[in-house]
Chains A and B, each alone.
Chain A
């Protein structure tokens, strides 16, 4: 495997050997290592010093169930700290088939304008993006597929990324060619826009799977992992209900963000629940699907396809919990059809649905529209497309929106919007929001599944710490969070797979060691970028304003949080 370095100013590719210190890392851990090694932590995230790094996880490339994820790393224009946004789809798998351990995009283009970077066995080529510029993500994807066929992987940006909006993400096409697997958070799409890339087309048709040192052991461990995964009772719940099954759980614990995080209980929760959604999709039939896989080989299939009432037209796929909450209950909207339309719009714009959902919640509180008014929310998204002043403010996220409208109740940490768990009711997740180097993030270590009193401040730091280390480990492997059920039931398969793949370098407790190393690297980057413990805090109002129905405030001791990673 090699390092592929693309300089966008010279429009040149350099292929290098993998430095020794990068070899035992992949995915999130590798992006952190490279950022620390090569990027000035104080640089302008949208300037030439920043890099955009695509790193498949350590296990990517072999169609292991749900283990072909891509990590995108960069210095975030939203948080100004380290960022990793991972996604399913094809990108990770295809890169590995070309022998690419990591793709590093660096420099700044000499002039305005956008390019399509085409990567294949022969190398890399820059093609003018032409009239793809300004096009939404869905049309961009179809046009590229027309031009390059159905086999490549494609990572692209929408108008949001072109405008360098700090809520912009990078969209990866899924196994069915839909640009819906999004490295969404922290403005990674703005960085891609600043590099002048509208899309990256990865043609692996002449490629091959990365080498496996001990194929027999690899297959045995794979079998064991698959068995553990398939036998897990949770898997049916994900297959049939997807992440949307979370809505009633969060609501049940009084932690479902409602009307800009002013309540943890939503009167319309049932109508946006995974249970309601499933019934609706079954009833609609046709193109509506309750289960769907984002990548070839995933046996969990947590994704879904939301179709119109007659089942004839796909509205959006997938429709997931975080979006349902941030663009549903958080906006006082209980109509899944409206939420699905909002979701399609933000995807087409190439914007993070969590950040924009939070920004719209702040906007509604600031009087830009009424909570519950889905049509006005849709009209505001249209403003992002036209590039109006308010549109740009919204597209720059919740903090920018709060400043513009004079709203103080902004649910963010390190400038990044919280996901769909109010931290006052789910305090362990609050600790994760506060202390994750990534900013408030639903992929950095959730705690809601744990059988603890989520309202009790005691013990939450330890709970969050464990969860953060585990997910940082899975992100480094390239494993989907839900594959972790299989790995948790058969933990020995992780080391077995890695050693069979790479040849005996990984010891016991690999997952946690990788997770610890990753968080350590990320914290070091943030420290050098100027972050202090004062950045590891929830907004002050969450410590004072009681959240109904439990009237809870966030009261985990700051001193305890400050020591969460002392012994990494």
Chain B
């Protein structure tokens, strides 16, 4: 097993009775990729659509995750 920290942006936050959760510690099987993580989290959004970053760098859906990775799952918005 490996554990990664996941940051969920805007509408991807998990709605829980305790409020919106945007930072989670998630345990996954060794060799798990970002797409596995997205299915594990059961997010209601097309994975292809998301902007992904691991440890501050842009990432692809099939990127294999490592222990302690910081994963950002984001809606690709921009500012104003």
Residues of A within 8 A of B (CB): 233-234, 236-238, 240-241, 243, 245-246, 248-250, 252-254, 265, 270, 273-275, 278-279, 302, 320-322, 419-421, 425, 442-443, 446, 448-449, 451-455, 481-482, 549-550
Contacts and interface: CB of A to CB of B under 8 A. Distances in A.
B76 A248 contact: no
A550 B57 CA distance: 9
Contacts of B10: 237, 240-241, 245, 274-275
B13 A275 contact: yes
Interface in B63-80: 72, 74-80
Given A233-B45, A245-B9, A425-B56, 12 more contacts: A240-B11, A245-B10, A245-B77, A249-B77, A270-B22, A279-B20, A446-B79, A448-B79, A451-B51, A481-B78, A482-B80, A550-B57
Interface of B: 7, 9-11, 13, 19-20, 22-23, 45-46, 49, 51-53, 56-58, 72, 74-80
B38 to A, nearest CB: 15
A449 B76 contact: yes
A237 B11 contact: yes
B80 A443 contact: yes
A270 B72 CA distance: 13
B73 to A, nearest CB: 10
13 contacts: A245-B75, A252-B53, A274-B10, A275-B20, A322-B79, A425-B56, A442-B80, A448-B79, A449-B76, A451-B58, A451-B76, A481-B78, A482-B80
Contacts of A241: 10-11, 77
Contacts of A279: 19-20
Contacts of A249: 9, 51, 72, 74, 77
Contacts of A481: 78, 80
A238 B49 contact: no
Contacts, number: 102
A442 B79 contact: yes
A446 B78 CA distance: 7
A163 to B, nearest CB: 27
Contacts of B13: 275
Contacts of B9: 245, 248-249, 252, 275
B53 A253 contact: yes
Nearest to B53: A252
Most buried by B among A233, A420, A443: A233
A449 B51 contact: yes
Contacts of A451: 51-52, 58, 76
A321 B80 contact: yes
Listed from nearest, the 3 A-B pairs whose CB atoms lie closest are A252-B72, A321-B79, A246-B79
Nearest to A446: B78
Most buried by A among B7, B19, B53, B78: B78
A320 B80 contact: yes
A178 B51 CA distance: 35
Contact of B56 (A240, A254, A482): A254
A241 B80 CA distance: 12
B72 A302 contact: no
A234 B57 contact: no
Contact of B77 (A238, A320, A454): A238
A232 B64 CA distance: 29
A324 B73 CA distance: 21
A236 B75 CA distance: 10
A248 B57 contact: no
B74 A248 contact: yes
Contact of A243 (B45, B75, B80): B80
A245 to B, nearest CB: 4
A443 B80 CA distance: 7
A243 B77 contact: yes
Nearest to B45: A233
Contact of A237 (B7, B72, B77): B77
Most buried by A among B13, B23, B46, B77: B77
Nearest to B75: A237
Contacts of B46: 233
A449 B77 CA distance: 6
A450 to B, nearest CB: 8
B78 A448 contact: yes
B77 A246 contact: yes
Contacts of A274: 10
A303 to B, nearest CB: 10
A14 to B, nearest CB: 36
Most buried by B among A246, A254, A452, A455: A246
Contacts of B80: 243, 302, 320-322, 442-443, 481-482
B74 A252 contact: yes
Contacts of A302: 80
Contact of A248 (B49, B72, B78): B72
A549 B57 CA distance: 11
A452 B53 CA distance: 10
B48 to A, nearest CB: 10
A358 B18 CA distance: 37
Contacts of A240: 10-11
B77 A234 contact: yes
